[in-house]
Amino acid sequence: MNGHPFREEDFELYALGALDADEKRAVESHLSACSACVEMLAQAQGRVARLAFAAPSVEPSPRVRERLLAQIHAVPENPAAAPASGEAQRPATHISRWWSAVLVPAGVALALLAIVLWREDARLDRQLDAQRAAIAQMQKQLDEAREISTLIEAGDTMRVSLASMPGMPQGAARVFFNSQMGKLMCDGAIAPAPKNMTYQLWLVPKNGAPISAGFFDATAGKYGSWMAAVPKGVVPIVFAVTIEPAGGMPHPTGPKVLVGPVS
């Protein structure tokens, strides 16, 4: 009990009052200097409290009620009138101790069992949430694959190859662009960008300013692929990749690394 962190069940046992005196003192001594364990204890106390409210009420049988009422009526109203000898009190005391010896451990065991089941239920919930997230991610990837397939297979989609400019980092890319859909896909590879810099793709239209169309991985320089949305109806004359500050720029400022004219 002197180590850190405690076993998880120690907090529930403390909240239930089931630790012995030495263990309780050790926990309280540690809690005085450990805010993390104070938080864990508060959570355990909350779980124990919820168990108390969650337990269904049980109606006692008529026989149990009659026996309880009989014992209550048997107790003298005036304590001074009770027998001086302890003999008359002994059976009731013996029964009380016997019930305590049976019911208290049983209650603690049931509470701990309920906590174990609650934790297992929480673990299963976390697994279910993780599976849902994985399914959602797979669905997203499937939707993206369908979107790429639709773009590439469309009859009016143009394919433009981008090549390295002299003296620039080596690489190559290709762009699939559909003006009516307002979508493009770029894939390719290029040498790693300089520190704190990135490669930014631009659609240079026949009329108007260049339009940003996404980024290559700025650090790895490995093969990459992405989709981008652009204004519908734009007529491009060239696609180009420039070196820009990390995060990109609203308009090209760096040298052209890859260029692909639209034929």
Looking up residue 185, the CATH number of its domain turns out to be: 2.60.40
* Res 99: pLDDT: 47
Tell me if 3 is assigned to some domain.
no
Of residues 54, 59, 45, 51, the one with CA closest to residue 15: 45
**Residues 6 or more apart in contact with residue 155 via CB below 8 angstroms:** none
CA end-to-end distance (rounded Å), the chain: 76
Q: What gap in Å lies between CA 87 and CA 40, rounded to an integer?
A: 48
The tokens 């000898």 sit on which residue?
85
Cis ω before 5 (30° cut-off from 0)? yes
Tell me if 62 is assigned to some domain.
no
Residue 195, H or E segment:
none
Q: Which residue has the higher pLDDT, 14 or 38?
A: 38
Question: What is the C-alpha R_g of the chain?
Answer: 37
Tell me if 210 is assigned to some domain.
yes
pLDDT at residue 161 tops 60: yes
* Res 87: pLDDT: 47
* Res 58: pLDDT: 54
Tell me if 216 is assigned to some domain.
yes
Tell me if 186 is assigned to some domain.
yes
For the full predicted model, state whether its pTM sits above 0.75: no
Tell me if 11 is assigned to some domain.
no
Domain total for the chain?
1
* pLDDT average, residue stretch 94-119: 58
Is the backbone of residue 56 left (phi > 0), alpha (psi -120 to 50) or beta? beta
What pairs with residue 212 in β-bridges?
A: 202
CB 225 within 8 A of CB 144: no
Q: What gap in Å lies between CA 250 and CA 211, rounded to an integer?
A: 8
Q: What gap in Å lies between CA 65 and CA 46, rounded to an integer?
A: 32
* pLDDT average, residue stretch 55-72: 59
Of residues 235, 232, 194, 238, the one with CA closest to residue 216: 194
pLDDT tier, 21 (very low <50, low <70, confident <90, very high otherwise)? confident
- Max mean pLDDT among 87-101, 139-153, 216-230 falls in 139-153
Tell me if 151 is assigned to some domain.
no
**Percent of the chain whose pLDDT exceeds 70:** 67
Q: What gap in Å lies between CA 114 and CA 55, rounded to an integer?
A: 10
pLDDT tier, 95 (very low <50, low <70, confident <90, very high otherwise)? very low
Show the domain range for 230: 158-261
pLDDT tier, 219 (very low <50, low <70, confident <90, very high otherwise)? low
pLDDT at residue 229 tops 90: yes
* Res 88: pLDDT: 46
Tell me if 103 is assigned to some domain.
no
